[in-house]
Amino acid sequence: MSAYEALKSSFHRIACLDEAGAMLSWDAAAMMPEGGAEARGEQLAVLAGLSHEFLCAPEVGENLSQAHVQTAWDSQNLALMKEAHLRATALPRDLVEAQVRAGRACESIWRAARKISDFAAVRPALTEVVCLAREGAVILGEALGLSPYDALMSQYQRGISSAEVNAIFARYEAFLRDALPLAEALQARRAHQVLPSGPYPEAVQAELARRLAAAVGLNFNAARLDVSAHPFCGGTPTDIRITTRYDETDFCAALMGVLHETGHALYEQNLPAAWARQPVGAAAGMAMHESQSLIIEMQAVRSDAYLSYLAPLAAEAFGKEITLAGLKHRLRRVERSFIRVEADEMTYPAHVFLRFQLEQALLSGDLAVADLPGAWNEGFKKLLGIIPPDDARGCLQDIHWFDGAIGYFPSYTLGAMAAAQLMAAARKALPDLDAALAQGDLSPLISWLSIHVHRLGASAGFNEILQSATGETLNPEYFEAHLTVRYLG
């Protein structure tokens, strides 16, 4: 066996361990009784430690120094292996396991604390999570030649720095300052219809969500739909796990959530199978992943064409007078609101920008965990002019920090911008796309995305994929143009 073939075997084993961890994490969110939290944290910590041990094994380092490859895909695979090995060998195994244990323990406390808006209950656990994240970030930063925050951000999306994100967000903040009041004023002057009041039975919502996800292209022979406190898509490419949460007064939230996660799932199911469990066969980062969920949910599903298809389906399913106008008012209404996952696409980046600022301050130590609620409320007022009435609708609403995921948030807005850019290119390539969407047919769009994004895996980076698919690296103008047409036209 050549050095490179030995590496592929090693990384296959590491991927299997990571997949096992992903399934245990899904179970913890969707199925596990509360009493299992402590044991689950230990299980996940041991798996993370084993994965780290395998990656840091002396033979991996030796094989990396001796490996030779011929093809471009193998070359990229080897480069990603070297980066993963560098990251792993920089971090002590004890720290890796401690981070996982702390994150699982904190997340368990967070679930209870959020329900009663009790930040004080989770503050000690979050303090430990942040301290461990800071320790790891400093070590990684030194090894990678990056700032501590950029070192964390790069594990979610390679090739984009916090300085670049700052510039993108500053530009968008200026756009929002003018666009939001104008959109609100235009909206106030227009007549509108509202959707009928509930109840919208959970079972009916779930069946409609499954039907639409399957129509979009999700293979339920290799996927599940369940319930969790925070919607997500997890699992593996051949065993996708989607979760959502239901509100019987509003069917739209769960439905859009499922279609959003279906975008993630399709990306995973369409990754290059020949490179499964190799670094190059994975997604090209979380910003690219978010672009795939948002091009489905925001760009395609919330279009006039698709909503004209959805309205009669929903009306029949719920036995209520659900109209296109009512759906447009519910799904395309600009509103300054407190909850990120329920925010409209114009104000959503402000939610992300706030988190981006705060997590950098937490990581650097400029912001103490105890001061997070006040800093959150102050920043929220500055960006959107409103103050959350409690911490459940403020700093407790998201799972990410409490689970140790610091550096993830920028991916959401980078993904939204990439989705608009990709959709503009897809529309040029597919002039009959709206006609297909009006029939509930997303297959032309999915086929285009499969060619230009999904099947590429991580053989190219975020900006390289955008350059190939659209002719440009990330350009926020497409997102601003999309919002201008949809909300200011």
pLDDT per position as a tens digit, 292-304 = 999 999 999 999 9
Report whether 403 contacts 107 (CB < 8 A): yes
Q: Does the N-terminal peptide bond of residue 181 adopt cis geometry, omega within 30 degrees of 0?
A: no
pLDDT digits (tens, 9 = 90+) for 252-261: 999 999 999 9
pLDDT band at 489 (very low <50, low <70, confident <90, very high): confident
The phi and psi torsions of 242 (rounded to 5 degrees) equal: -105, 140
Q: Please identify which of the residues 261, 297, 345, 480 carries the catalytic annotation.
A: 261
The phi and psi torsions of 470 (rounded to 5 degrees) equal: -120, -10
Report whether 169 contacts 379 (CB < 8 A): no
pLDDT band at 351 (very low <50, low <70, confident <90, very high): very high
Q: What average pLDDT score do residues 48-55 get?
A: 96
Q: Kindly state the percentage of the chain with pLDDT values over 70.
A: 100
Report whether 244 contacts 209 (CB < 8 A): yes
Task: Please give the C-alpha separations between residue 301 and each of 99, 252, 441, in angstroms, as whole numbers.
Answer: 38, 12, 10
Residue 1, pLDDT above cutoff 90: no
Mean residue pLDDT across the chain: 96
pLDDT value of position 16: 97
Residue 433, pLDDT above cutoff 90: yes
Task: Please give the C-alpha separations between residue 272 and each of 30, 198, 347, 427, 458, in angstroms, as whole numbers.
Answer: 28, 43, 35, 25, 10
Confirm whether 164 is a catalytic residue.
no
Q: What average pLDDT score do residues 129-148 get?
A: 98
Give the span between the Cα atoms of 140 and 152, in whole angstroms.
Answer: 8
Residue 230, pLDDT above cutoff 90: no
Query: What residue has token string 């990384």?
Result: 11
Task: Please give the C-alpha separations between residue 30 and each of 115, 226, 339, in angstroms, as whole numbers.
Answer: 17, 7, 21
Domain positions in the chain are 3-154
Q: What average pLDDT score do residues 61-85 get?
A: 98
Q: What average pLDDT score do residues 46-66 get?
A: 97
pLDDT band at 375 (very low <50, low <70, confident <90, very high): very high
Q: What average pLDDT score do residues 167-171 get?
A: 96
Residue 191, pLDDT above cutoff 90: no
This prediction's pTM: 0.95
3-state secondary structure of 21: helix
pLDDT value of position 17: 96
Give the span between the Cα atoms of 401 and 354, in whole angstroms.
Answer: 13
Give the span between the Cα atoms of 266 and 217, in whole angstroms.
Answer: 7
Residue 14, pLDDT above cutoff 90: yes
Residue 241, pLDDT above cutoff 90: yes
